[in-house]
Structure 1
Amino acid sequence: MSPTTMNRSHAESRTSYTGPGMIATGEATALLPTETTPPIRVFGTESIRDTFDDLCLQQAVNSRLAPGVTDLVLNPDAHCGYGAPVGCVMVSPTHIYPGPVGVDIKCSMSLLQLDLPTEAVDDRKVRRALISAICQRTPTGAGKGQRSVTKARHVNRSLGKQLVVEGASADVCRALGIPTGWAMRCEDSFHLGHDDTAGALESRLETLLQRRDMSNFSDKMQQLGSYGGGNHFGECEVVELADDDQARRCGDAFGLQDGKVAFLSHCGSRGFGHNLASGQFSTLQSKFDRWGIPLPAGDRQLVYAPLGTDEANDYLDDMALGANFATVNHLLINALVLEAFQEVIPGTKGNLVYFISHNIARKEIVDNRPAWVHRKGATRAMPAGHHSLAETPFAKTGHPILLPGNPRDGSAVMVAQPGAAASCYSVNHGAGRVLGRRHAKRVLDQATIDSEFESNDILSNCRQYPIDEAPAAYKDFNEVLRSVKSAGLASEVARLKARFVIKDASKADD
Structure 2
Amino acid sequence: MGKKLNGRDLINLGFPKNNSINIALGQIHRYRKKEKKEAILAEAKEVLLSPDKFKSHGTWGKLAEGLIAPVVVRKQELEQTRAPFSIFGENEIDAVAKSQLFNALKLPVATKGALMPDAHSGYGLPIGGVLATDNAVIPYGVGVDIGCRMSLSVFNLPASYLKGKTDFLKGILSDHTKFGMKEVHAKKMDHEIFSRVEFKDIPLVKGLLDKAYAQLGTSGGGNHFVEFGVVDILEEVPASKLPKGSYLGVLSHSGSRGLGANIAKHYTYLATKQCPLPKNVQHLAWLDLDTHDGQEYWMAMNLAGDYAKACHDNIHYRIAKALGKHVALTIENHHNFAWKEMVDGKECVVHRKGATPAAEGQLGIIPGSMTAPGYIVRGKGNVDSLQSASHGAGRVFSRAKCKSNFTKSDMKKILKTNDVHLLGGGVDEAPMAYKNIETVMKLQEELVDVLGTFTPKIVRMSK
Tell me which interval the TM-score lies in, with the shorter structure as reference length: 0.7 to 0.9
Using the TM superposition, give the Cα deviation of residue 107 of structure 1 relative to its aligned residue in structure 2, in angstroms: 0.2
Using the TM superposition, give the Cα deviation of residue 273 of structure 1 relative to its aligned residue in structure 2, in angstroms: 0.8
**Structure 2 unaligned spans of 5+:** 1-78
Match of 2:222 in 1: 230
Match of 1:208 in 2: 204
Match of 1:392 in 2: none
User: Is contact 1:101–1:376 with CA below 8 Å preserved after alignment?
Assistant: yes
Q: Which letter does structure 2 place at the counterpart of 1:279?
A: H
Q: Which letter does structure 1 place at the counterpart of 2:434?
A: Y
Can you list the C-alpha shifts for 1:32-84, whole angstroms capped at 9, x where unaligned?
xx95134421011xxxx334223212211111111211011000011111211
Can you list the C-alpha shifts for 1:419-443, whole angstroms capped at 9, x where unaligned?
x222111101111111110011101
Query: Distance in 2 between the 1:502 and 1:251 partners?
Result: 29
Match of 1:106 in 2: 147
Q: Which letter does structure 2 place at the counterpart of 1:204?
A: D
Distance 1:400 1:101, change over 3 A: same
**Structure 1 unaligned spans of 5+:** 1-33, 167-198, 343-347, 384-397, 506-510
Match of 2:46 in 1: none
Match of 1:358 in 2: 335
Match of 2:138 in 1: 97
SS at structure 1 position matched to 2:188: coil
Match of 1:470 in 2: 430
Using the TM superposition, give the Cα deviation of residue 355 of structure 1 relative to its aligned residue in structure 2, in angstroms: 1.9
Can you list the C-alpha shifts for 1:371-417, whole angstroms capped at 9, x where unaligned?
1111100111121xxxxxxxxxxxxxx13220000122211111122
Q: Which letter does structure 1 place at the counterpart of 2:248?
A: V
Matched positions, count:
385
Residue 133 (structure 1) aligned with residue 172 (structure 2): yes
Using the TM superposition, give the Cα deviation of residue 138 of structure 1 relative to its aligned residue in structure 2, in angstroms: 1.9
Residue 407 (structure 1) aligned with residue 365 (structure 2): no
State the TM-score, normalizing by the size of structure 1.
Answer: 0.72
Distance 1:335 1:283, change over 3 A: same
Q: Which letter does structure 2 place at the counterpart of 1:303?
A: A
User: Is contact 2:375–2:454 with CA below 8 Å preserved after alignment?
Assistant: yes
Query: Distance in 2 between the 1:70 and 1:258 partners?
Result: 43
Greater Rg over alpha carbons, structure? 2
Query: Distance in 2 between the 1:494 and 1:61 partners?
Result: 34
Q: Which letter does structure 2 place at the counterpart of 1:319?
A: M
Can you list the C-alpha shifts for 1:241-300, whole angstroms capped at 9, x where unaligned?
33xxxx2x3366485752111111101101111111111112222x24xxxx54156422
Q: What RMSD, in angstroms, separates the aligned Cα atoms of the two structures?
A: 2.1
Distance 1:320 1:165, change over 3 A: farther
Match of 1:456 in 2: 418
Task: Identify the match of residue 153 of structure 1 among 188, 194, 214.
Answer: 188
User: Is contact 1:434–1:475 with CA below 8 Å preserved after alignment?
Assistant: yes
Match of 2:64 in 1: none
Q: Which letter does structure 1 place at the counterpart of 2:380?
A: Q
Query: Distance in 2 between the 1:254 and 1:402 partners?
Result: 18
Q: Percent identity?
A: 29
SS at structure 1 position matched to 2:142: coil
Using the TM superposition, give the Cα deviation of residue 368 of structure 1 relative to its aligned residue in structure 2, in angstroms: 2.0
Match of 1:3 in 2: none
User: Is contact 2:128–2:354 with CA below 8 Å preserved after alignment?
Assistant: yes
Residue 441 (structure 1) aligned with residue 438 (structure 2): no
Distance 1:67 1:254, change over 3 A: farther
User: Is contact 1:239–1:256 with CA below 8 Å preserved after alignment?
Assistant: no
Query: Distance in 1 between the 2:92 and 2:278 partners?
Result: 25
Q: Which letter does structure 1 place at the counterpart of 2:453?
A: R
SS at structure 2 position matched to 1:283: helix
Residue 40 (structure 1) aligned with residue 85 (structure 2): yes
Using the TM superposition, give the Cα deviation of residue 349 of structure 1 relative to its aligned residue in structure 2, in angstroms: 2.7
Q: Which letter does structure 2 place at the counterpart of 1:43?
A: F
Q: Which letter does structure 2 place at the counterpart of 1:467?
A: V
User: Is contact 2:130–2:352 with CA below 8 Å preserved after alignment?
Assistant: yes
Q: Which has the higher contact order (CA 8 A, sep 6+)?
A: 1
Distance 1:154 1:252, change over 3 A: closer
Residue 65 (structure 1) aligned with residue 25 (structure 2): no
Match of 1:387 in 2: none
State the TM-score, normalizing by the size of structure 2.
Answer: 0.78
SS at structure 2 position matched to 1:66: coil
Equivalences for residues 297-376 of structure 1 within 5 A? 298-342=280-324, 348-376=325-353
